[in-house]
Amino acid sequence: MYYKFSGITQKLTGSGPAVAYNPQGLRPAVPAEPPAMVFGTPTRVLSEAGPAVDFMGVNKVPDLQRIFQTTDGVPVHLKRGYPDRLLYRTTMALTVGGALYCLVALYFAAQPNRK
């Protein structure tokens, strides 16, 4: 596979061999010599770098992945803890209460209308 620099996307794209040997669209101000090497810069592991601030907020997905991938036997709908339990219990209470209320309402609706 041969590559060329695309002037539209400003990225390398695939091309035929002829185009690769006659490159076009290269920026004129490309330095001819590589920049001097800098030694002694302290290396930081990615996890120590902290959350990367980006357009509109911080990426919390890695933290959430850590929370949701812990092996604790808790099903996915309760994994987040208290807020999940609150929502689940509210929904379950409405389910059971609503079903009973529905049966009562249908029972009374089934009674003949005696006037």
The site for other proteins (CB under 8 A) is made up of: 9, 54-57, 59-61, 64-65, 67-69, 71, 75-77, 79, 87-88, 90-92, 94-95, 98-99, 101-102, 105-106, 109
Q: Determine the Cα–Cα distance for residues 77 and 5; give it in Å rounded to an integer.
A: 48
Under 8 Å between Cβ of 25 and 7:
yes
Closest approach of other proteins to the CB of residue 6, in Å: 12
Question: Please, what is the minimum distance in Å from the beta carbon of residue 68 to other proteins?
Answer: 4
SS (H, E, C) 4-44: EECCCCCCEEEECHHHHHCCCCCCCCCCCCCCCCCCCCCCC
For other proteins, give the closer residue by CB, 25 or 90.
Answer: 90
Residue with smaller CB distance to other proteins, 16 or 93: 93
Between residues 9 and 41, which has the closer beta carbon with respect to other proteins? 9
Nearest approach, Cβ of 94 to other proteins (angstroms)? 5
| Residue 14: its H or E element | strand 12-15
